[in-house]
């Protein structure tokens, strides 16, 4: 058993270091996730000093993405959003489509092939669910309840719309091991399987509801197994399969309870996910791709923040449009997944990929700080004390 001591020690040390990095980030007014990303850079093979085991970290990060997106899928409740904020049903999908189109056209103009340009455009259109939840729960937040509800609802619809577009674009990209026709059939077959699971899982969870350990095991294993099966047997990308699986079981009371019990696991693995992202930022590749980084950041502002602000105003949402748009003005886990698929398929170069990862880190840092400073009328307001 001694050969496992090293990896276990490393995981423990990384989590403790992440806790310290998150604490330090919050002390200087930044969100904890910035500390996690910074730690990833420190323990990467591209910086001096200690180097974390990338394969081990990547496996734990992949587990984190699956649990994260499975939980996000469970959280999506389109019927509730439709009843409470009808304007979101139109505004959020429109933002994803418009942002993707603007970004894709510009990226194609500067040299990317059409499908990779659309895929990276979609990654810019999506926001991080983890970051948005943190914005709405932060002790330093200056958002009001209606803006927080709008942020959460917008993010949920973003995810749903983005997954549908991503499934099509990934099939066109050829990242699946199957031809596009078989990939389409596989996606439909997986959706049927997810619906069947959605009918059966609440029954199983209801039967073991009083057995807290069994309830938790079934909840976690269902998310992992459904995502793994979707990817292995049906050719659906792992992260997208996890989200669709969570989306399918969202309507039951038991699913809501499963989400509540999954949250601690999601939080731990999400930390490792952001550390893993930071460890992918290679300074040399970033220096070569600094132009791409500037383009991505500009597109986040022009094609996403401005578009979201305009759509929020047009839809007359009962929220602060500027805070809403700025809160959405970052990219995260879906951007990582889509960028990874593009680089694995050889559709984008390493410097473009690293620039996208750096855009994740910078956009999260800027968005989560600026959203606290933008008040109801779009002017700077003092932040609430921690």
Q: What ranges do the domains of the chain cover? A: 2-126+153-373
pLDDT at residue 224 greater than cutoff 90: no
The CATH code belonging to domain 2-126+153-373 is: 1.20.1530.20
Please indicate, yes or no, whether the overall pTM of this predicted structure exceeds 0.75: yes
Percentage with pLDDT > 70 across the chain: 86
Give the pLDDT confidence of 86-134 residue by residue, as tens digits: 788 889 999 999 999 999 999 999 989 999 999 999 999 999 887 888 8
Given a contact cutoff of 8 angstroms between Cβ atoms, the answer to whether 93 and 315 are in contact is no
CA distance 269 to 254: 23
Mean pLDDT score, 293-304: 96
Task: Compute the C-alpha angle 223/229/235, nearest 5°.
Answer: 125
């Amino acid at each position: 058993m001694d050969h496992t001591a090293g990896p276990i020690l490393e995981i423990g040390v990384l989590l403790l270091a992440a806790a310290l990095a998150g604490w330090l980030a919050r002390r200087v007014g930044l969100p904890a996730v910035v500390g996690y990303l910074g730690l990833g850079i420190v323990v990467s093979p591209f910086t001096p000093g200690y180097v974390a085991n990338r394969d081990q970290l990547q496996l734990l990060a992949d587990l984190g993405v699956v649990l994260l997106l499975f939980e996000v899928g469970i959280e999506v409740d389109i019927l509730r959003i439709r009843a409470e904020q009808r304007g979101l049903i139109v505004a959020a999908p429109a933002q994803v489509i418009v942002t993707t189109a603007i970004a894709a056209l510009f990226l194609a103009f500067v040299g990317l092939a059409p499908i990779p340009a659309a895929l990276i455009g979609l990654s810019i259109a999506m926001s991080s669910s983890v970051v948005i939840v943190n914005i709405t729960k932060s002790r330093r937040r200056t958002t009001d309840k209606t803006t927080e509800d709008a942020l959460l609802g917008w993010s949920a619809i973003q995810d749903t719309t983005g997954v549908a577009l991503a499934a099509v674009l990934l099939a066109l990209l050829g990242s699946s091991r199957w031809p596009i026709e078989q990939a389409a059939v596989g996606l439909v077959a997986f959706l049927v399987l997810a619906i069947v699971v959605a009918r059966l899982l609440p029954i199983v969870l209801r039967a073991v509801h009083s057995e807290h350990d069994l309830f938790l095991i079934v909840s976690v294993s269902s998310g992992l197994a459904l995502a793994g099966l979707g990817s292995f047997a049906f050719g659906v990308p792992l992260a997208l399969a996890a989200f669709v699986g969570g989306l399918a079981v969202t309507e039951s009371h038991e699913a809501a309870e499963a989400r509540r019990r999954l949250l601690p696991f999601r939080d731990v693995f999400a930390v490792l996910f952001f550390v893993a992202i930071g460890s992918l930022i290679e300074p040399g590749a970033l220096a070569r791709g600094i132009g791409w980084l500037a383009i991505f950041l500009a597109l986040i502002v022009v094609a996403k923040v401005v578009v979201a602000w305009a759509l929020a105003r047009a839809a007359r949402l009962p929220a602060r449009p500027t805070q809403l748009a700025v809160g959405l003005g970052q990219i995260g886990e879906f951007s990582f997944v889509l960028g990874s698929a593009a680089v694995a398929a050889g559709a984008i170069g390493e410097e473009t990929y690293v620039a996208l990862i750096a855009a994740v880190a910078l956009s999260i840092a800027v968005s989560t700080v600026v959203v606290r400073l933008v008040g109801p009328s779009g002017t700077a307001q003092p932040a609430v004390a921690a």
